[in-house]
Structure 1
Amino acid sequence: MVTAISIGITLLLVLLLARPMGLYMAKAFDYETTGLDKWFLPLEKLIYGIGGIRRENQTWKQYVLAIVMSNTVMILLVFLIFRFQGSLPLNPSGIPGMEPTLAFNTAISFMTNTNLQHYSGESGLSYLSQMVAIVFMMFAAPATALAAVIAFIRGMAGKPLGNFFVDLTRSITRILLPISFAAALVFIALGVPQTLEPTAVATTVEGAAQEIARGPVASFLSIKELGNNGGGYFGVNSAHPLENPNALSNMLQILLMLLVTTATPFTYGKMVGNAKQGRVLFVSMAMMFIVFLGISLTAEYAGNPALNALGIQHEQGSMEGKEVRFGVAQSSLYSVVTTASETGAVNTMHDTLTPIGGLIALSNMMLNTVFGGMGAGFLNVLMYTMIAVFLSGLMVGRTPEFLGKKIEGKEMKLIAVTMLFTPILILAPTALALFTNADTISNPGYHGLTQVMYEYTSSAANNGSGFEGLGDATPFWNISTGIVMFLGRYLSLVTLLAVAGSLAAKKAVPETAGTFRTDTGLFAAVFLGTVLIVGALTFFPAIVLGPVAEQLTLTP
């Protein structure tokens, strides 16, 4: 009962925050004069002046070029910081510079909002690298994705796409920075450290010396969760007591992970002038989330079937790899939230989830529509929405229309190409890794296949959580996952913004009695069916060979 109440309170708070946050975001990205300007405009004007930013609308090609070029320059800059951190200041522990392929992987990882970590957080980076490089990218990466989805929404509404640098700036000044600052103060009050002092040395009860890593953790943690970044300051991420001290800090992290992702459908509804359609998409995603959460909780409480048959299963379910202070329920909830929001933070080791629990985490990332990561996830939702509209139009013999714009061959070709990116980026590298690097996989058989597939799924979906058990701190894994993360981030942004540019250029057609409405319960059912049939079946064979087969081998 207590478990159900705690989960219920958390999800209720998410629900209560979603709509107000969505409307606030819509106002933040409205170029017209608003009451918010007196707070944010002076700072923004200063940034525009320093950066030489001209606040004029861009074409979709200019918008895409601005995203890719600016992000590439940022990757190069932080790569250099990682390589030479041993010679740079704010390094009281004397941490050496990163190995080149690891620096390559880490720079791409954080700039693509993935935060896959092939290093141990507290021993791999200096304070300078953590604050100047990592935290900087933790703001720039989600702001980039948020700007991209706002441009896409404008295009669908028949408006100019806007200016990337203006949207990037507003994403940081009006959303990420003020909320993360306030959250950091709360984390400090809850016991999360925020200091530039070097590693503390304590004397244990046996008289031995123990080094305790610390640093500017609270400021790192707040943007880590709010920006759907997910990388841990410490190696064990939010399972570490200094990064997640108690139940309240755990709840706050969940709220931050879901805050922007659950708000975006309401932002969309407001900006396109159809609030009901935004609610339909929100409810559809919420239904998938609840179903997946229920399956995960059931699987983790049921535990290992083989141990159950021997009568040695833990009375509270599968506690393997879980923190006692969180238990099965909060660990399962966190695993579903972090993969549904494409954050990647963990408060339990996903490698120790039951096969079905691991399947849910994989499914969230493969679909990337169960709310999805900041900006990029909702782009996938809108992509599936247009696929559903197109299929519905074909079934009734009408040219598909969405928000008054005809969806024709050009748009569908771009969407079809986009649909191929994720499975190719996951399945092809998985096959290559299994063929060439089997010795780095710690578990044989089905679980080993899931480990490898999870690594590339997490990379392609820009999630960053790991199944672990892999010897992934090698040039092969660093380079291959780095390439997958980069392509997984930017290929779909290019093609979907091309779709937005095409739709923005079209004239709206009047709605008639034969127009298929996209703000009804019927369309919600069509949308969910499209996600499950088109999305889930793409990965069905690989899923069967991994977690499903593993579950069957455990069943007596």
Structure 2
Amino acid sequence: MIWVRDVVIIAFICLLAMPIGSYIYRVLNGERTWLTPVVQPLECLIYRGLGYHDNQPTAMSAKTYGGAVLSISSLSFIVVFGLQLLQKWLPLNPNHVGNVKWDLAFNTAVSFVTNTNWQAYSGETTMSYLTQIIALTTQNFLSPAVGVASLLVIMRGFKHTHATTVGNFWQDIIRFILYVLMPLAFVLAIIIIACGGFQTLHANIEAGRTLIPLGPAASQYAISLLGSNGGGFFGANGAIAFSNPNALSNFFEMVAILLVPAALVVTFGRFTEKRQARLIFTVMLIFLSLAIIGTTLAELHTGIKFAGVTGTSVLEGKNVINGIGNSSLWTALSTAVSSGSVNANLDSFTALGGLIPLLLIQLGEIIFGGIGSGLYGMLAFVLLTVFISGLMVGRTPEYLGKKIEPYEMKMVSLAILFPPILSLIGTAIGVNLPHIQANLTNHGAHGFTEILYAFASMANNNGSAFAGFNANQIGVNLVGGLAMAVTRFVPLIAMILMGGSLATKKLVAKGAGTLRTDTVLFGVLLIFIILLIGALNFVPALVLGPIADFLG
């Protein structure tokens, strides 16, 4: 029954991805859609507010486009950081929560601006409703739109020839937010509320010694899932009934995690070649399927035996409504996609059950991955595979009719290498922080896994936590915040500049020696390169962490 449910959910997502991916293509390509009569007046009003009075924003060069990304991200950081420091004296604070400490506010601001949504706090007791709505929920829309805009530059780079511009950043994010994210988030929020989720401005209720947290939770949780943000209104995220009340909400929320990242692969095929998109989608689906199978089997069969029944211990930390199957599936989805949301306590997973989601994160969040960032991360590996294959046969590498030259490979190297480097450096700093043992609930290999998972999650744009590790300390907040910023914006800007370079190139005619990049052989090479470059970096750390935990 577990496997049937998994197949149904994945098949449902794949079926929805095709029409939604085609719809996103029409939106990003400026074509008329069924929402145009409703949304276009608001879109034009925003353009006029930005100074584009003819409703035709001027196309930008790649450098100007990248500058716009950094400008809006810097402004977003200031707003999110400032609201946290001042929330005690601002309205919409019925629970009278105090101002957030500066280092936690810094970490949280970077986290939400970079689409990581790492949370070293419980939202219901730390953040005011104003901060949740104006700062965090707004970033849940804006940060994935920035990722998609960056992906769009690359797609235009492959599509255009002899072009000096790559589109207008403001137009791209406005269209994606208004036509894609807002309608989908509205529908999902209604579903969550209908299933019993909370959406209110009333203060928390204290019933004896029990705190019943309230707040505008459904609206934030809906976009956090759809935008591959993952940060929830409540500290327990999707493991708490207030945001994930029953099996029906759990089903739609799991669909929401993967829906837009999967649809964007279809969008890529519409912009370029469908056969290339099919191969990328297939490789992603293979990795995801193996991760789902591995995580589920690990949870079912490697738990401690009680009364002769294997696996009963791993029900600890899981909502009994979801059980082992749904918890394993959700975890694989949210760590393949850079969602970072959870519907179970990952610290309660078995050693091998925790290793697989950790490895998915360490691969660079490319198995569908974050909105925009996942696909451009996968394209970086595709171009690396093309380059290595070209060297093997002595030809200048080409992809989608564009020559891949040293400049493009420099940008690809930045995109691929920075996340693992910062992840491992962060872990090294983390294990040497003062009083680190006092901030761990477990010691030995399992305790090391908690630290490794935390910094891998921050440096790879995921945001989920293994738990058991008190991350709300100055050292972790500062090091983690810097890691999130660098590993978000260095690859992102590198890929924008690469897209600009590709746009200036002419199309090269295919010849007898042209390497085909839509074949099974190339797919196998791509899988090999992902494992070789993405996974082997972390083998020593994994041996010290989850593998030693399993063998011990």
TM-score by length of 2: 0.95
| CA distance in 2: counterparts of 1:19 and 1:409, whole angstroms | 35
SS in 1 for 2:211: strand
Partner of 2:7: 8
How far 1:312 sits from its partner (Å)? Answer: 5.8
SS in 1 for 2:315: coil
- What are the within-5 Å matches in structure 2 for residues 302-451 of structure 1? 302-304=301-303, 307-308=304-305, 311=307, 316=312, 318-367=314-363, 368-437=365-434, 438-439=436-437, 440-451=439-450
SS in 2 for 1:263: helix
Report the AA paired with residue 382 of structure 2.
Answer: T
Partner of 1:464: 463
Q: Which moved more, 1:468-477 or 1:81-90?
A: 468-477
Residues 408 and 501, structure 2, Cα contact 8 Å, conserved in 1: yes
Partner of 2:191: 186
| CA distance in 1: counterparts of 2:252 and 2:3, whole angstroms | 17
Residues 150 and 495, structure 2, Cα contact 8 Å, conserved in 1: no
- What are the within-5 Å matches in structure 2 for residues 144-543 of structure 1? 144-158=146-160, 160-202=165-207, 208=208, 210-272=210-272, 274-304=273-303, 307-308=304-305, 311=307, 316=312, 318-367=314-363, 368-437=365-434, 438-439=436-437, 440-543=439-542
How far 1:58 sits from its partner (Å)? Answer: 1.0
- What are the within-5 Å matches in structure 2 for residues 101-116 of structure 1? 101-116=103-118
CA 329–222 in structure 1, closer or farther in 2 if over 3 Å, else same: same
| CA distance in 2: counterparts of 1:253 and 1:499, whole angstroms | 34
Residues 302 and 311, structure 2, Cα contact 8 Å, conserved in 1: no
SS in 2 for 1:211: strand
| CA distance in 1: counterparts of 2:312 and 2:121, whole angstroms | 33
Residues 184 and 222, structure 1, Cα contact 8 Å, conserved in 2: yes
Residues 26 and 32, structure 2, Cα contact 8 Å, conserved in 1: no
| CA distance in 1: counterparts of 2:432 and 2:198, whole angstroms | 44
How far 1:452 sits from its partner (Å)? Answer: 0.9
* Structure 2: segments with no counterpart, 5+ residues: none
Partner of 2:41: 42
How far 1:414 sits from its partner (Å)? Answer: 2.2
- The percentage of counterpart residues that share the same residue type is 39
Structure 1 stretches of at least 4 aligned residues deviating more than 6 Å after TM superposition: none
How far 1:409 sits from its partner (Å)? Answer: 1.5
How far 1:315 sits from its partner (Å)? Answer: 5.5
Residues 300 and 317, structure 1, Cα contact 8 Å, conserved in 2: no
Report the AA paired with residue 329 of structure 1.
Answer: G
SS in 2 for 1:76: helix
Residues 293 and 333, structure 1, Cα contact 8 Å, conserved in 2: yes
How far 1:317 sits from its partner (Å)? Answer: 6.2
Encode CA deviations 1:56-87: one digit per residue, 9 max, x unaligned: 11111111110011111111011111111000
Report the AA paired with residue 163 of structure 1.
Answer: N
SS in 1 for 2:245: coil
| CA distance in 1: counterparts of 2:415 and 2:6, whole angstroms | 35
CA 378–200 in structure 1, closer or farther in 2 if over 3 Å, else same: same
What is the alpha-carbon root mean square deviation over aligned residues? 1.5
| CA distance in 2: counterparts of 1:140 and 1:322, whole angstroms | 32
SS in 2 for 1:65: helix
Q: Which moved more, 1:466-475 or 1:316-325?
A: 316-325
Report the AA paired with residue 127 of structure 1.
Answer: Y
- What are the within-5 Å matches in structure 2 for residues 61-72 of structure 1? 61-72=63-74
| CA distance in 1: counterparts of 2:37 and 2:340, whole angstroms | 36
| CA distance in 1: counterparts of 2:317 and 2:308, whole angstroms | 17
Report the AA paired with residue 226 of structure 1.
Answer: L
| CA distance in 2: counterparts of 1:524 and 1:5, whole angstroms | 27
How many residue pairs are counted as aligned between the two chains?
543
Partner of 1:205: none
TM-score by length of 1: 0.95
Residues 300 and 310, structure 2, Cα contact 8 Å, conserved in 1: no
CA 315–521 in structure 1, closer or farther in 2 if over 3 Å, else same: closer
SS in 2 for 1:384: helix
Residues 28 and 36, structure 1, Cα contact 8 Å, conserved in 2: no
Residues 227 and 374, structure 1, Cα contact 8 Å, conserved in 2: yes
Residues 127 and 196, structure 1, Cα contact 8 Å, conserved in 2: yes
* Structure 1: segments with no counterpart, 5+ residues: 203-207
